[in-house]
Amino acid sequence: MNPIDFSQIPLRDIHLPGPVSWWPPAVGWWILALLVIAGCVVAWVHYRRHARERAALRTLRSALKALDDGGEPARCLQQVSLVMRRFAMSIADAATPVAGLTGERWLAFLDSRWDRDAFSSGAGRALAVAPYLPAERVMYADVQELGSLCVQWISTQRPGD
């Protein structure tokens, strides 16, 4: 056997492949990007959907805090009534004319939006009559109880229900 002289064989050096390009990304990165975008869209829709509820609760709580800080009960009651009316108009469907509801019909509408009758036969009755009472006849405890009821009501509402 003859020994092989490798220096005489025409071999070339090993060529390494070029660096891996960052574009186009692998399928997993596309899926991750779509999930991130979908998550952002869901978060934005959820945030926008509950923006009116947060604003109404913030306004309602600030009115009740002003009452606790020595504000007039009659003024606070007017604020509560205004917040409830505006919030109800923002969540009601187009077929329900909330702006024109007064008295018992207004209280019945509020009760129809949840499974309690606290407005028609409970502390919520003050919402229909108290804003029109003289300031000296509006009691602090009644306003506090009504405010608590209204916070509960707003917290349970969803647009279009």
17 assigned to some structural domain: no
Q: What is the pLDDT of residue 133?
A: 84
Residue 66 and residue 76 in contact, taking contact as beta carbons nearer than 8 Å:
yes
13 assigned to some structural domain: no
Q: What is the pLDDT of residue 115?
A: 87
Q: Please name the residue that has the structure tokens 């709580």.
A: 61
62 assigned to some structural domain: yes
Distance between CA atoms of residues 59 and 73, nearest Å:
15
41 assigned to some structural domain: no
Residue 94 and residue 84 in contact, taking contact as beta carbons nearer than 8 Å:
no
Boundaries of domain holding 61:
52-156
67 assigned to some structural domain: yes
The domain tally of the chain equals 1
Distance between CA atoms of residues 99 and 108, nearest Å:
14
Residue 77 and residue 130 in contact, taking contact as beta carbons nearer than 8 Å:
yes
Pick the closest to residue 53 from 161, 147, 149, 155 (CA basis).
Answer: 155
Q: What is the pLDDT of residue 111?
A: 94
73 assigned to some structural domain: yes
First-residue to last-residue Cα distance in the chain? 94
User: Which parts of the chain have pLDDT scores under 70?
Assistant: 1, 159-161
138 assigned to some structural domain: yes
For residue 161, count CB atoms less than 10 angstroms from its CB and return exposed for 0-12, middle for 13-18, buried for 19 or more: exposed
Q: What is the pLDDT of residue 12?
A: 83
Percent of the chain with pLDDT over 70: 98
39 assigned to some structural domain: no
Distance between CA atoms of residues 158 and 53, nearest Å:
9
Q: What is the pLDDT of residue 131?
A: 73
